[in-house]
Amino acid sequence: MGRGTRGELISRLAEAIRCATAAHPLRVAIDGPPAAGKTTLADELAVVLRAQGRDVIRASIDDFLFPRAQRYRRGQYSAEGCYFDAHDRGAMCRVLLDPLGPGGDRRFQHTVYDRATDTSFSPPATTAPADAVLLFDGVFLLRPELIDRWDLRIFVSVPLERTVDRARGRGTALAGSIADAADIERVWRNRYIPSQQLYFDTVGPTDLADIIVYNDQLHRPTWEVRPHSSIRSL
């Protein structure tokens, strides 16, 4: 188990990525519950890797949402809807993960969804260098349909009750009203937390991760390399 400053964590993760070998762009999953700090971690890693001269592709599960009518067809507060209906995993594989993987042509799209218009979106394809790094953050990334498409699997762990506190703080800062904060908490407790519990019960993502980052203390995180991982130390 490692412990250190935020900068030390990012430096260790960047070194693990540098030491990972693949004959294609390295596909890194940064999984974890909502409000765990996945996007922030991925963005911090991207800054360090780019400073080291690596070509970094940033993408998120939110770039592969289905339109609202499909992802909320079981209801706004449905945990099953969150887990089964929200994300276009087929498109993720087809336009991003498989082109960057073994035998792929490295021509990829980083999104299929336009949040502003709530519609499907198909930007022009881009060709990745062979030594590029994909940093992909999101929920449910280690489920069976996706698990074999990652070359390095990071799970950002935070107690689920702590994510409610973070979401409430983010929501009130953005929305500025108690009503909005109450609705955010309702969504968290009825949709997001139960969907994470479903994920843990059916998949066990922390057993599949190469690295677990314990992110409840943002400025003093701890981390663990799982025994099955090919990473020797961190």
State the CB neighbour count (10 A cutoff) for residue 216: 15
Query: Are residues 28 and 17 in contact, defined by beta-carbon separation less than 8 angstroms?
Result: yes
Q: What are the residue ranges in the chain where pLDDT is below 50?
A: 172-179
What pLDDT score was predicted for residue 216? 87
What pLDDT score was predicted for residue 168? 75
Question: Where do the structural domains in the chain lie, given as residue ranges?
Answer: 2-225
Cα-Cα-Cα-Cα torsion 206, 211, 216, 218, nearest 10 degrees, comes to -160
Whole-angstrom distance, CA of residue 108 vs CA of residue 63: 13
Write out pLDDT tens, residues 143-160: 999 999 999 999 999 998
Count of residues in the chain: 234
Whole-angstrom distance, CA of residue 95 vs CA of residue 97: 7
Instruction: Tell me the torsion sign for CA atoms 141, 147, 153, 158.
Output: positive
Class of the domain covering 2-225? alpha beta
What pLDDT score was predicted for residue 233? 63
